[in-house]
Amino acid sequence: MAHGRHATTTVRIAAREYIVHMLTALLEYRGSFRYIDQATLDRAVRDASEHLEDDGLSDLDREWMSFVWRRGTTVHVEAILPSSSDRYIAAAFLGALARTAIEGCVDVKRGGHVLDAFASKADA
């Protein structure tokens, strides 16, 4: 659907719909981190989730835990967010996950171009 000169699309993120005027206005976070054991993974997830407890966060920024899932001692991240989402919260959340990981990386892309990456200390 076109509105004026900009194409728009509706994107569903964390059970909400957002109107995005350009696909380059989306940030894609994808990757995984592996931990030495389950206790270390649990601690990393707990530390990351503490960044989501701020009363000033938007509903979307509070949804970061819904973009993360575990398998064994690995945590996977997969999120596509509007560029208006709080990148500082994303950085704090992903930095907390990366801090104690023994390997892994989450890339941040926009329009297919890598903008940033959060790597474990071993992969940095």
Residue 88 main-chain phi, psi, to 5 deg: -70, -40
Residue 84 CA, distance from chain mean position: 13
Direct distance between the N- and C-terminal alpha carbons of the chain, in angstroms, rounded to an integer: 42
∠ at Cα 84 (49, 113), nearest 5°? 95
Residues 6+ apart with CB under 8 A from 13: 60, 63, 79, 80, 81, 82
Q: What pLDDT was estimated at residue 35?
A: 97
Domain ranges, ordered by start, for the chain: 25-119
pLDDT tens track of the chain, all 124 residues? 444 444 455 545 444 554 444 445 788 999 999 999 999 999 999 999 888 887 777 777 778 888 899 999 999 999 988 877 888 888 999 999 999 999 999 999 988 899 999 999 876 6
Task: Determine the topology of domain 25-119 in CATH.
Answer: Alpha-Beta Plaits (3.30.70)
Q: Look at the block and give the residue holding tokens 């509706």.
A: 10
